[in-house]
Chain A
């Protein structure tokens, strides 16, 4: 009764008895303090101090019984469990109560967790619109990763990363030729490149995590911050070096995982020159230390630097030149030289045949479909397909597209019928919708009306913006070029239309090459011409595998890429040529591609009957000598390379010209595979011969050098001897003393050596101080 009334009064005193928990605690506290008051003043005091360190105002309350007690305001953050525990801390504890308390505590904890979780969820729910889907759906597990046709590349990356296990995690390794003696891959830097938005960064991050690394990212943004803070440019590369070195040697502090250094956007970093220089330095320092360790394994191992963490660089264009530095001095060249290169590819269009392209595209679509479902955008498969086509397989762009245009697609209708009817003219027609438009004719209207509609579209309507932006217009023309053969094939299979079209294409090309000309405003005419030539009332859908040109859309891009690659190859070859050869053959890359390199290749691969030199006849021996000279002049390296796919060992000459020389199509004299095997067979014989010949030459050169060296050395030795004998006056003094001591010992006899003194005298000193010195002069000193 007493305690109850007490608690009530307590409640009244406190205006805010908000929730049940608070009530409970206040109740407990009140009764508790009452008890303690009755029992022990000291405890009360202690509790006061315990519970409310800050001095709180107490209140005097008169009870019915006449007692006056002082009340303290409740402290709310006291947990009831603790309170109970406190009260019983003096005696033994009951196991049951302890257990129940523990249970209670756990329950509270879990409840709190749940509460927090729901709160977070709510937050996410409200902030949904703010998050970009491309970030939101960034894959977090390997399984989530959208393959997009890059499965093979993923495997290669994982393969490369796995080779680091022995260094980073201390696994055992097998030396099968693809790793060095520490079990690291031969090339210490991995360079991943490919067009933007296909998940390079995401994939690399994921895979590094998958393999147990912590990613340490360096990108265009954070690598420059350091430079702006510290404008001292000399320090900069040192700082970078330190940073990279730290990442190389340490583990993450929190979970002790080894770092994996990921350098994103190497090609577009403003200071990529420095980054690459640092990498280069590190790799070469590593190489040096390796060499040193071979020679003296025990000595100063601690000092020599060893790369011990994987470095992965990501770039869009590995042939990028710094705009100011054309050609051979671009930093990317250096990077390429030291790194293992893996190219990520864009998923190719689904309209082209080939299982690879189709599957890649499908995986992207499935990925988008998933997002579509999760976000309840409600697009169907075809629309998703269109989005992917518009973005040309760029997954990130597709996601953005889906997020920001998705609703509109649904409501306004994205399909081109609406456009051609004149509705919704403000928006731009996407380029592939334009293509459909160009190859289609409305059956309900006459040809003139259709043409008029189209003309209006280009002059004032939505078509104008598509055409006026050269980028999208180029896509339209290119795609029409890819498509028209198929269309004509089904129409009448005559060649009149293609030949007429070629004139218009050249007109377009003319505009393209002179972008600032007045004529460029007429570029839309090409589209009209396409329509009048190829349009049909019911255009046939061209399905996968039916197209006359396989992979037509990616063909153009692939060609562009390989032209770049081959040009670069030729350039490096030409740069390596000895000067005199450069003079005779010239530096024109086209000459090299069309006949110089093919003939070089033929020269380097004669038929040889045996691997052993002694078995060869004289002409073959001669040709081997010649090849060897050529190999040395051209600075070709003979290498064994292991193909990851097939596991076969290939004999390679680096630089390898195969991509320039060999063709792979139906019109070649021999199939591509035959050519390669033929080449390999020849190399089987040739390589040992050439390398032994190279060694022989080296020996010969050494042998040729040695006599010269020897004679020089002996000459020097002789000189030294003579100098030792008679370099200064000291000598004479010594001689004198020696002689005098000898004289003392009454053994005055000068050996025949003394004559040498006179020879020496003429040699070392200039004639300016020449003076005849006789025996007497010496003795009288």
Chain B
């Protein structure tokens, strides 16, 4: 509990600060006693998991926070033993399918069957009649088609005993039958204002000192921090903590340099280079950089997105901006379909250079 992200995480629905309408819906849901299958989606750092756990907390009480890790073993069709870690409490379990690679179909099927076949017996609050267990599936968009197809039947068959909560960033990879069987809950990124309010609260609780006492100025500064974190609350909290760590009193002046991440700086510098030197030599340089970024596990689509926004910042001409955005969307699709990210990243830069050439 040393990090602020941990310490100030809301535990119950009443503690949630933003997206009030969603919170109300969830509260209503938890009161009704029954619970549909959920598909919760939204960008990372928006508070999906926090909301799910708050809801579970509302339904089952604080017991859901008592987590443990189980190691489950499965046998695949080719008689191989699979070991797989499951995060669980008495009332729910949480799995991440990317851990299991190609065998996600088998694991999901076996696991759900296993869970479903043992009925939840709960003597203590039997009057509440929660005879089901919650299964949270993280990164549901990385489930293979097979696994998703296996899910759709299981969801209906065992619906008396288990409820699924699928968590993902986008629902474009989720097949339609699953979408129709679940209640879609979109959690958008919190607005800049939302985040700065959260940060303000945290800073008050931590007793942080600012260089000014002007409330407006502080809020403006926190807005900057939120903006800098791309409206990702988790990132905003981490970066804010870093900031507070470096300085005794937080200077509300314009010094967010310390929060800049190396790879973002690199992409920024790269975008300038692309704008000024539109030739093959730059393309070659850019390729080397791309390789390095990929080697550091920065996802290719994030690179593309960041690069696009950096480039957009450098141009005023709407026709160029239009062209760049169109290109980026084309290459975003190629990136998500293909395997060789480097081809597409370089292709985007080449085409972007051509667009700039024609526009200016």
Contact = CB atoms under 8 A, between A and B. Distances in A.
A510 B258 CA distance: 41
B299 A586 contact: no
A619 B83 CA distance: 46
A495 B350 contact: yes
A763 interface: no
A574 to B, nearest CB: 10
| Centre residue among B232, B260, B289, B291 by max chain A CB count within 10 A | B291
A502 B330 CA distance: 12
Contact of A495 (B2, B67, B354): B354
B262 interface: yes
Interface in A557-584: 558-559, 562-563, 566-567, 570, 579-584
A489 B281 CA distance: 7
A491 to B, nearest CB: 9
A663 B337 CA distance: 28
B294 interface: yes
Contacts of A328: 85
Given A505-B347, A589-B297, A580 B1 contact: yes
A512 B139 CA distance: 25
A603 interface: yes
A596 B278 CA distance: 34
A596 B302 contact: no
Contacts of B262: 598, 661-663, 668-669
Interface stretch (B34-42, B185-193, B195-203, B242-250): B242-250
B297 A506 contact: no
Interface stretch (B12-20, B93-101, B123-131, B151-159): B93-101
Given A506-B344, A512-B340, A630-B3, A594 B298 contact: yes
A676 B192 CA distance: 34
B343 A506 contact: yes
B235 A509 contact: no
Given A579-B69, A586-B49, A619-B248, A665 B292 contact: yes
Given A495-B278, A668-B265, A596 B273 contact: no
Nearest to B265: A669
Contacts of A562: 295-296
B279 interface: yes
A591 B297 CA distance: 10
B53 interface: yes
B283 A584 contact: no
Contact of A499 (B139, B295, B302, B354): B354
Contact of B263 (A506, A563, A594, A599): A594
A327 B99 CA distance: 6
A173 interface: no
B63 interface: no
A590 B296 contact: no
A633 interface: yes
A501 B349 CA distance: 12
Of the listed residues B5, B289, B343, B357, the one surrounded by the most CB atoms of chain A closer than 10 A to its CB is B343
Interface string B106-139: 0000000000000000000000000000000011
A599 B238 contact: yes
Given A502-B343, A583-B67, A606-B246, A495 B80 contact: no
A196 B103 CA distance: 29
Contacts of B266: 663, 665, 667-668
B171 to A, nearest CB: 17
B53 A583 contact: yes
B176 interface: no
B283 A498 contact: yes
A544 to B, nearest CB: 16
A495 B280 contact: yes
Contact of B280 (A548, A563, A662): A548
A294 interface: no
Given A590-B302, A595-B235, A595-B261, A326 B100 contact: yes
A527 B318 CA distance: 37
Contact of A509 (B232, B339, B353): B339
B55 to A, nearest CB: 14
Contacts of A600: 238
Interface string B228-268: 00001011001101100110100000000010111101110
B83 A329 contact: yes
B82 A326 contact: yes
| Contact size range, B | 35 or more
A324 B81 contact: yes
B284 interface: yes
A444 to B, nearest CB: 30
Given A326-B100, A566-B295, A512 B338 contact: yes
B87 interface: yes
Chain A contact surface mostly: helix
A495 B295 contact: no
Interface in A462-508: 481, 485, 488-489, 493, 495-496, 498-499, 501-503, 505-506, 508
A593 interface: yes
Given A506-B344, A579-B67, A665 B288 contact: yes
A737 interface: no
A69 to B, nearest CB: 86
B173 interface: no
B145 interface: no
Nearest to B249: A619
B76 interface: yes
Contacts of B76: 324
A102 interface: no
B292 A505 contact: no
A632 B2 CA distance: 10
A512 B81 contact: no
B212 interface: no
A485 B280 contact: yes
Nearest to B238: A599
Nearest to A512: B339
A509 B99 contact: no
A281 interface: no
Interface string B318-360: 0000000000000000100111101110111011011001000
A485 B283 contact: yes
22 contacts: A324-B78, A325-B83, A327-B99, A485-B283, A489-B280, A498-B347, A499-B353, A509-B340, A513-B338, A548-B281, A548-B283, A548-B285, A558-B291, A566-B297, A586-B49, A587-B96, A593-B298, A599-B235, A603-B241, A603-B245, A663-B263, A665-B289
- Which 7 A-B pairs rank lowest in CB-CB distance, beginning with the nearest? A502-B347, A324-B80, A548-B284, A509-B338, A593-B297, A629-B2, A667-B269
Interface of A: 323-329, 481, 485, 488-489, 493, 495-496, 498-499, 501-503, 505-506, 508-510, 512-513, 548-550, 555-556, 558-559, 562-563, 566-567, 570, 579-596, 598-600, 602-603, 606-607, 617, 619, 623, 626, 629-630, 632-633, 659-669
Given A324-B78, A324-B82, 19 more contacts: A324-B81, A489-B284, A499-B354, A502-B347, A502-B350, A505-B340, A505-B343, A548-B280, A563-B294, A581-B5, A581-B6, A584-B3, A584-B5, A584-B9, A595-B235, A602-B242, A603-B241, A663-B293, A668-B262
